[in-house]
Amino acid sequence: MKKEKIIIANWKMNLSYKESLRYIKDIKSFLVGLKNIKIILCPAFVSLADIQKEIKLKKIELGAQDVFWMEEGAYTGEVSVQSLKELGCKYVIVGHSERRGFLNETDAMINKKIQIVLSHNIIPILCIGENLEQRNDNLTAKILRDQLLEDLKIIDFKNNQQIIIAYEPIWAIGTGHEATTDQVNEAVIIIKSQLAKLYPNKDIEKSFKILYGGSVDENNVESFLDLDVIDGFLVGGASANKVHFIKLLNKIKN
Ligand code: PGA
């Protein structure tokens, strides 16, 4: 039997609250009918509660796009992991390059976020990846290793817990320029060997799932399907449009 694919739909700030609800009402029966595909929807914080009502008891999972690293307190504008848990989130994206870039999120902050997420038994989706300059300077391997080292510093987790790592080269995000399968393959091998070094006592295949993200859409997704090293995709732009998302999922299921 074919391995189940994980598809994370990161809607970013693309759909308003009303648009998000319309979207899920329109396509939830299609999503529920998909076999061998685990769908994780990551809407904006404000839409989580009502999206959860729509997908409850269905096979669709909920994730948040971010979280704060403290339990509670005077942190205006931030959202706690406890709230996310109460809303039904089983996943949280951490360290997305848009947050690292636009909001100056550091590896140290990301590390604290992963710690709090795991302590609440939620699965972190850690995004890592190099920018174009780094790739051109042959620094991809170093950047990936360093990010894993810093982001996962002193992080231990139970054998029944999991971390998802999304390889997201920054030059491929939202640009329409996807990485080649060779580039993804190479990067994932580097990621897995660094994880094996960091967690010598863990079964890496079981404890980590590895995804690719960066301009994945209905036109290029098939080229990645034979890539055994990845477990699925983190889809941004193409997931925020239901017509494109359905087309993309149809390519995966076939
Ligand atoms: P994209 O975004 O699919 O629009 O490139 C991917 C991501 O931001 O995770």
CA dihedral of 35, 11, 234, 214, whole degrees rounded to 10: 140
Which helix (H) or strand (E) segment holds residue 223: the answer is helix 221-224
Lining ligand 1 with CB less than 6 A are: 10, 168, 173-174, 213-216, 234-238
Q: Does domain 5-253 have CATH number 3.20.20.70?
A: yes
Query: How confident is the model over 188-215, as pLDDT tens digits?
Result: 999 999 999 999 999 999 999 999 999 9
| Ligand 1 pocket, mutate which of 6, 7, 8, 10 (most atoms under 8 A from CB) | 10
Across all residues in the chain, what is the average pLDDT?
96
Q: Which residues are annotated as catalytic? A: 96, 168
- Asked whether the predicted pLDDT for residue 1 surpasses 70, the reply is no
Residue 37 dihedral angles phi and psi, to the nearest 5°: -130, 125
Query: How confident is the model over 9-24, as pLDDT tens digits?
Result: 999 999 999 999 999 9
Query: How confident is the model over 49-60, as pLDDT tens digits?
Result: 999 999 987 789
| Ligand 1 pocket, mutate which of 235, 239, 244 (most atoms under 8 A from CB) | 235
Q: What is the DSSP string of 149-217?
A: HHHTTT----TT--EEEEE--GGGTTSS-PPPHHHHHHHHHHHHHHHHHH-TTS-HHHHEEEEEESS--
Domains of the chain, by residue range, sit at 5-253
Amino acid at 104: N
Query: How confident is the model over 48-98, as pLDDT tens digits?
Result: 999 999 998 778 999 999 999 999 999 999 999 999 999 999 999 999 999
